[in-house]
Structures are given as structure tokens and as C-alpha cells.
Structure 1
Amino acid sequence: MPFIQWYPGHIAKAERQLKEQLNRVDVIFEVLDARIPLASHHPDVPGWIGDKPRLVVLNRTDMIPESVRQGWLNWFAAQGETLYCTNAKQGKGIKALKKAAQAAGVQMNERRQQRGMRPRAVRAVVIGFPNVGKSALINRLLGRKVAASARRAGVTRQLQWIRISDALELLDAPGIIPAKLENQEDAVKLAICEDIGEAAYDNQQIGAALIDLLVELNFDNILSSRYQLDPQNITGEEYIESLGNSKFKGDTERATMQLLNDFRKGVMGKIPLELPQLI
């Protein structure tokens, strides 16, 4: 398995600044990638936030089948979590999220009133791995573009407070990654989905891992029909080599990037890399 380790200085700084701001925050939006909800959950978040309300947001739900989305709703419910499903690109699921944040704020303001303090806007923070769609989500909540958003990791570099309305303020935080990616299987999935920076891994190793994972999850028919190459009985590395030879004049790097981009942009179809019933 390819070894992945990525912890640039700006991530360490962002984590430190985020922890400093958390005591000013009333509610936490944790944004997960719908294709890999468990791999894209930061293991330290529950410890950081203590008993503050956390809204778990499953973003990019347009990239997984409806049956899998439903499966995750049930799975998270069994863990005692309410899941908010969104597609920030198209603005789906945003209203429910706003409502939930404001409901958390009502309780916060009731506590303030009991202490003789004046009510104020709810302060929420949006956290998650790089490139899971946090900035796109903030732009949707706001109804205009204020947060830089792009399909690559590490676009947001600093914390900024954004006023959504009189009732809601949002802290946009850069993507955060654990200091050590202990679980390399999860790290590979994050790399496949482009949720960590490309400096952390070798493209061809990750492309090969994608092939092996698709075969394991029974999506091999997609590969056969799309690239006219059967992945059964060969390794991911051999598949990429064959694809490079048959379609890209022996250029395995081009073959790799074609595969990865076809998956990342949803061109291959709605493909989850984690399934709730398998956990």
C-alpha cells in the first residue's frame, strides 16, 4: 500500500488558530465527503469541541447513489447522530442546515438571557478535511460568493468570520488534517478523492489503489465498459500499465490522471468508496 504523509505548516497553524477560536463558537458544522464519510471524519474533532452541538454534514451527495445516501442516514442515526445531506454545488440541503444552526442558537440565547446577557447571533464554524466542499457550503449559506472555492486541497489558508445574517455568523476555517495519518487505508481514500494535497502521494500508486478498491467493491464492470479493459485477475498497477499502452502510447502517468479525474469529476458515475453495511 502506498505510504501517505502530509502535514504542511499552514495546516498546523490553522489547527492552532481554530482551537483558539472554538471557545467563541456555539455550533460546529463538520463537513464529510459523501464518497468516504468515515475516512473524511477528523478523529480529534469530538475532543476539541466537548459538549458543543455538532451538525454532521454529508456533502457531495450527488456523487453517490440514493440507496447509499439512505444507508448512511440510517448508519449515523444508529450512532445517535443526525446527518444533514447537502450538495453545496447545487445548493441542495442548505435550508435545513441553516434551520438547525439557528435552533442551536435559540438554546444558546436562552442560556444568555438566564444570565442577564443580551441575545446575539449564533456563531458557527465549518470544519473538515481540505477540499470536502466547506467554502462552497459557506457561499450557499450566504447566498453569494465570499469564500474561495476550488476543486483542490488547501484553497482556504486563513480563518475568517463571515456574517450570514443577523441571526448567524460563520467561521470559515482551512482544511485540517490529523498530525499523523495513522490509518493508511483512509489516507489512500482521501488521496483518491483529492481531499489531501497531491504533494503527499504518488499519482500512479493512488491510481492503482483506486482500481483495486473498485474491484473489491464490485465496480469492475464500470472499468470494463469505460476503458474496454477488464480489471479482474490483474493488479491495479498492471491495469494502469495496460491502459497506458492501449490508449496513451505507453504513458502511464496520463492513463493514471485520466482515471483519477474521471472518478473525481463523477464522469465514471456515482461511486462510493465506503458502504455503510460493510462497516
Structure 2
Amino acid sequence: MTTPAIQWYPGHIAKAEKALLSQLKLVDVVLEVRDARIPLSTHHPQVPHWIGTKARVLVLNRMDMIPTLMRNRWTEWFQTQGEEALFTDAQHGKGIEAIAQAAQNAGAQMNQRRHDRGMLPRPVRAVVLGFPNVGKSALINRLLKRRVVESARRAGVTRQLRWVRISDQIELLDAPGVLPSKLNDQEAAFKLAICDDIGEAAYDNQRVTSTLIDLIKGLQATTPDAISGNPLRSRYELDPAEFTGESYLHALAEQKYQNDVERTARQILNDFRKGILGSIALELPPN
């Protein structure tokens, strides 16, 4: 069975992107937020072009959802690319201080340049950029130490741009998620769907769940460090070893969910997204 390719570029994202590009001129530093489970798939190819020479802080959110060993491997890999990756768990407020500090440091450099030109200092203007549902709003609320922007574990909650003031030193632009207008890399598109980083209307749950099962099996076989034990067997008492992703889904539906394949698919996706299957890094640093 072939279903159409995964594509999602709703009107509010197209509109927000236009507004964002006009606001970017006012920004000093960009906080680029990615999903730590899939740091490469949540990289927007246009971001370097949009940012130009502005300061950028790379934030890998949801660090609690991947094994510590994989965090270290990603840190090392980004260093080889000349980048520093800062890990956060915005949901529980971990790693936030380092982000605030990095934004402030960028502001200090900006104000030094203003001072050198005989201008008065002003608050640093930062923007939080990234795909839908990677945790931007949760990060902003943590930086503000109060809940000012709506945050939910689904794509497309933030729809408007707005400035919020964090302190006398930092002003923050909260922007809706940005997405490439065309998802050319379908392997990445499936990972975005698995991690709930694009809208649900874009994909078929059963196909996405089958892909997740195959990914988990592949990690167990090749990179056990990227995964906690045998999560599917532990959770559902059915070992995936003998099955393809699709046949596992059907076998599990028959065994536990009255043959309701759709319900089974949703259950597995939900368990993965909530961390019930343990910490799983769906992407590995390139060799």
C-alpha cells in the first residue's frame, strides 16, 4: 500500500514566515531550537540564509528523551562542525540558564559595538526559531519564569509573532514554527511525523508507526547506545525481532487491541512521544 508523500505547509505558517522575515532585521541573536531526538531533520535549510551574520545559539530541546551517551556524541559532532549545541529540557526547566547567558553574551557584544559608535546600550533582541512543536513556547516560558505563551505538545499552537520582555537586558520574539514549503527528504518527514513536529493531517498513522518500529529495530541491531533496552518487547510483551514494522503493528493489534490497527498505531506513537518507551535517539551523528 502506498500513501501520498508527507507534505505540510499550512497557510498560517506561510503567513508567519513572511512576517518573521520582516522582523528578523530588528533581531540581534537567533535561538534556533531543534528536537534532540532528530537534530538534523529539524534543521530548516533556510535558517543560515535568513540569519546571515547574526549571532546564533543552537538549542537541542527534549534532551531528557535521548540517552546521555547520545547527547555526548551529538555535542562532539557539532563541535567538529564548529558549533556549540546547548541541550535543554524546557518542559522541566533544565539547561535554561545557559541559553539566557548565551543570549546575554551576544547582547553584550552588540552593545559594545553600539558603544564604540557612540550609541546608548539597549536590550538585546532575540528570536526563537524552529519547526513546530520542538518546544519553543515552553523554552520562552522558562526564560520568562512564567507562562506567557501558550505551549502544547502539538504542532501549530503559536500562530502570531509577538515580542515579550524577559528582563531589562533581553526582549524575545515568539514566532510560530517554520517549515520548508516542500519536504523533499521523506525520511526526515517521517521522523517529523513520528516526533509530532508536523500537523497530524499530513500523514497516515499506521505508515508512520510501521516506520518507527523499523527504526527502533534498526537501532537495536546497529546502535544499542541510542535506545533503552528492547522497548517494544518490554512495553507490549511482543518481540519485534521476527517482524517487519507493518507486520508487528498488525500482530500487536490482533494480540492486544481487538484487531484495531489504527488504535494500535496511535497507542505506539503516543507511548513514544510521551517517553513511555524510554529514551530513544532516532538520529545519529553522521560519521
User: TM-score, normalised to structure 1's length?
Assistant: 0.97
Alpha-carbon distance between aligned partners in 2 of 1:47 and 1:233, rounded to the nearest angstrom: 46
| Structure 1 unaligned spans of 5+ | none
Q: Name the counterpart of 1:274.
A: 283
Q: Name the counterpart of 1:252.
A: 261
> In the alignment, residue 274 of structure 1 is paired with which amino acid?
E
Provide the identity percentage.
63
Q: Name the counterpart of 1:242.
A: 251
The aligned runs of 1:13-92 (5 Å cut-off) are 13-92=15-94
Q: CA deviation at 1:106?
A: 0.9
Q: Name the counterpart of 1:188.
A: 190
Residue 18 of structure 1 aligns to a residue whose secondary structure is helix
Q: Name the counterpart of 2:134.
A: 132
Q: Name the counterpart of 2:223.
A: none
Q: CA deviation at 1:83?
A: 0.9
Residue 270 of structure 2 aligns to a residue whose secondary structure is helix
The aligned runs of 1:74-113 (5 Å cut-off) are 74-113=76-115
| Structure 2 unaligned spans of 5+ | 221-226
Question: RMSD over aligned Cα, in angstroms?
Answer: 1.2
> In the alignment, residue 149 of structure 1 is paired with which amino acid?
S
Residue 20 of structure 2 aligns to a residue whose secondary structure is helix
Q: Deviations over 1:98-136 (max 9, x none)?
A: 111111111111111222221100000000000000000
Residue 164 of structure 2 aligns to a residue whose secondary structure is strand
Q: Name the counterpart of 1:8.
A: 10
Q: CA deviation at 1:156?
A: 0.2
Residue 165 of structure 1 aligns to a residue whose secondary structure is coil
Alignment of 1:230 with 2:239, yes or no, is: yes
Alignment of 1:261 with 2:270, yes or no, is: yes
Aligned length: 278
Residue 166 of structure 2 aligns to a residue whose secondary structure is strand
> In the alignment, residue 272 of structure 2 is paired with which amino acid?
F
Alpha-carbon distance between aligned partners in 2 of 1:9 and 1:142, rounded to the nearest angstrom: 29
Q: CA deviation at 1:244?
A: 0.8
Q: CA deviation at 1:232?
A: 2.1
Deviates more, 1:221-230 or 1:125-134: 221-230
Alpha-carbon distance between aligned partners in 2 of 1:87 and 1:249, rounded to the nearest angstrom: 37
Alpha-carbon distance between aligned partners in 2 of 1:199 and 1:46, rounded to the nearest angstrom: 29
Q: Deviations over 1:54-103 (max 9, x none)?
A: 10001110111110011111110110001111111111111111111111
The aligned runs of 1:180-219 (5 Å cut-off) are 180-218=182-220
Alpha-carbon distance between aligned partners in 2 of 1:225 and 1:139, rounded to the nearest angstrom: 35
Q: CA deviation at 1:51?
A: 0.7
